[in-house]
Structure 1
Amino acid sequence: MDIPFHKMQGIGNDFIVVEERACPGEDLSALAVALCARRFSIGSDGLLVIDRTENADLGMRMFNPDGTPDFCGNGLRCVARYGADVMGLGPGPLTIATASGIRTARVAADGSGLVETDMQPPDFRPDRIPMDVPDDRAVDYPLTIDGETLTVTSLSTGTAHTVIFVEALPDDEPFRKLSALIADHPLYPLRTSVLWTRVEGADRLSLRIWERGIGETLGCGTGACAAMAAARVRGCVDADVIVGSPGGELQISWDGGTAMTQAGPAAYVYDGIVRR
């Protein structure tokens, strides 16, 4: 079977985008494992599967390279642009049914590739992350890893994130070692992504990112939202923040209420056909 696909990326977070109708009967988790393997296949940080649904303009499912289902903010922007351009739905607003509920997206009509989406507001309740702790909120929690106690804040922005505030972003060795241990810590039954976060000012954060099911990535939309929210509840940042990561920048807005938005690029890389 030949499956048409588009390769897309948002701040360096890259995806294989397919329409579900093009791969009938496929085990989508297995397809993600096969296609996302770098050097052995197309290679990407995830597989985005788009379908039509009755309760929204589009449906979106995201699978990590290890086949686990997840939700992704950068992927959401890519799906919105694909729907607007390739599927002819126009700049919107578009509604997209996701694992994080129905999200609304607006694609810039000038062809710049900029997309703004609403996001799930941050949820610090441990049972919603999930995180196995008795506290009402997992804010500034002392987590012991490899004999070292780190102060972490865990939350969900549609997927689990753990934020660690640091004076300087970590070097490769401690970043890889500690991030992997935190991501698979038994307190997180579904694992967690890890966001090492430096506060640059009241309107800017810098991240180094380890995503569950992937490893280090150049960007993470839900992670940028999580880092901003964690900094906001600590009183470190204002309601509008630029969040930078190695792949680029996102504008995150949250006033502490129920409305959170992200804005940033969604770009096409190439398209092709994969033979199964």
Structure 2
Amino acid sequence: MRVDFTKMHGLGNDFVVLDARAKDLPQIDGSIARALADRRTGIGCDQLILLQPSSAADFRMRIFNQDGSEVEACGNASRAVALLHGAPADVETAGGTIRIEPAAGGASVDMGEPRFEWDAIPLAYGMDTAAMPVGWDGLDHPGAVNVGNPHVVFFVEDCGAVALDVLGPEIENDPLFPERVNVNVATIENRGHIRLRVWERGAGLTQACGTGACATAVHAMRRGLVEREVTVTLPGGDLTIAWAEDNRIRMTGPATEAYRGSFEWDDFA
């Protein structure tokens, strides 16, 4: 069976998108997601995105990380899907329904409301998620936010100096986080600008993470460190994050279609 795909990226965070809204595809599982995501023997991507029909929204988006794990949300993929869809839409995800709207060169996404309760992150036991009494080798007292998926956020003097390739996997897999966690290290440049690096669970160091930008910005806003709309600069570029008075987060930024192609399903199944 020959299957079409679209290769896309948001600030360098790249995706293989499979569209099963009008044409049925065989069952997607972790093994085929890993095979397609492999950069040596597959198409290569950070995440595999599967679009399907939905009874609760205009369509459904499923997200598989490079390691084959299925996750709840991906902000950069949401912008890419908005560009591909080409019109405003409500999209069902495992983390809740989001609203996408294509814009010049990218998209704006209503990412929904953040959650701060310890059991909504989730954490293994109760604690203050605004200043957690925990630390790992110089990174301490982080905040935790769920923005459709779980994030832990550290504010540091220079996020570029943190050995995130070493500490990221250690924190991601700490027993404190029963569903693992995305790890963000951020530097507050001023009240309108944050620099950020992200270790993404199941994918590793990434050029950009839309949900990480949302979680980091909201945690900084919660702490009173920045205004309610900020620019977040990631290695791949800038996102604008706004936390409105109605408690909903809006992310705006670029998305790009790289190319289209097809593959034989049996080569990867």
Aligned residues: 263
1:53 partner SS:
coil
Residue in 1 that maps onto 2:74:
72
Name the stretch that deviates more: 233-242 or 162-171. Answer: 162-171
- Map Cα deviations across residues 42-87 of structure 1 (whole Å, 9 max, x no partner): 1111000011223222211111111111110111111121112xxx
Match of 2:152 among 158, 162, 173: 162
Find out whether 1:117 has 2:109 as its counterpart.
yes
Residue in 2 that maps onto 1:36:
37
- The answer on whether the counterparts of 1:7 and 1:270 sit within 8 Å (CA) in structure 2 is yes
Distance 1:143 1:23 in 2: 47
2:81 partner SS:
helix
Q: What is the Cα deviation at residue 23 of structure 1? A: 5.8
Q: What is the Cα deviation at residue 203 of structure 1? A: 0.7
1:72-91 → structure 2 map (5 Å cutoff)? 72-84=74-86, 91=87
Find out whether 1:15 has 2:15 as its counterpart.
yes
- Map Cα deviations across residues 116-140 of structure 1 (whole Å, 9 max, x no partner): 11012211111111111322x3121
1:226-237 → structure 2 map (5 Å cutoff)? 226-237=215-226
1:81-230 → structure 2 map (5 Å cutoff)? 81-84=83-86, 91-92=87-88, 94-108=89-103, 112-135=104-127, 137-145=128-136, 148=138, 150-171=140-161, 174-230=163-219
Name the stretch that deviates more: 16-25 or 53-62. Answer: 16-25
Runs of 4+ in structure 1 deviating by more than 4 angstroms, as ranges, are none
Residues 53, 255 of structure 1: alpha-carbon distance in 2 compared, 3 angstrom cutoff: closer
When normalised by structure 1's length, the TM-score is 0.90
The amino acid of 2:10's aligned partner reads: G
Distance 1:82 1:58 in 2: 13
Distance 2:56 2:132 in 1: 39
The amino acid of 1:152's aligned partner reads: P
- Map Cα deviations across residues 147-174 of structure 1 (whole Å, 9 max, x no partner): x5612111100001110000111436x2
**Unpaired runs of 5+ in structure 2?**
none
- Map Cα deviations across residues 163-211 of structure 1 (whole Å, 9 max, x no partner): 0000111436x22111111111110011001000000111110101100
Name the stretch that deviates more: 21-30 or 53-62. Answer: 21-30
**Unpaired runs of 5+ in structure 1?**
85-90
Distance 2:215 2:121 in 1: 11
When normalised by structure 2's length, the TM-score is 0.93
Distance 1:161 1:149 in 2: 15
Q: What is the Cα deviation at residue 257 of structure 1? A: 4.3
1:122 partner SS:
coil
Identity among equivalent pairs (%) = 35
Distance 2:24 2:35 in 1: 14
Q: CA RMSD in A?
A: 1.6
The amino acid of 2:262's aligned partner reads: I
Q: What is the Cα deviation at residue 25 of structure 1? A: 2.4
The amino acid of 2:116's aligned partner reads: F
The amino acid of 2:100's aligned partner reads: A
Distance 1:149 1:200 in 2: 18
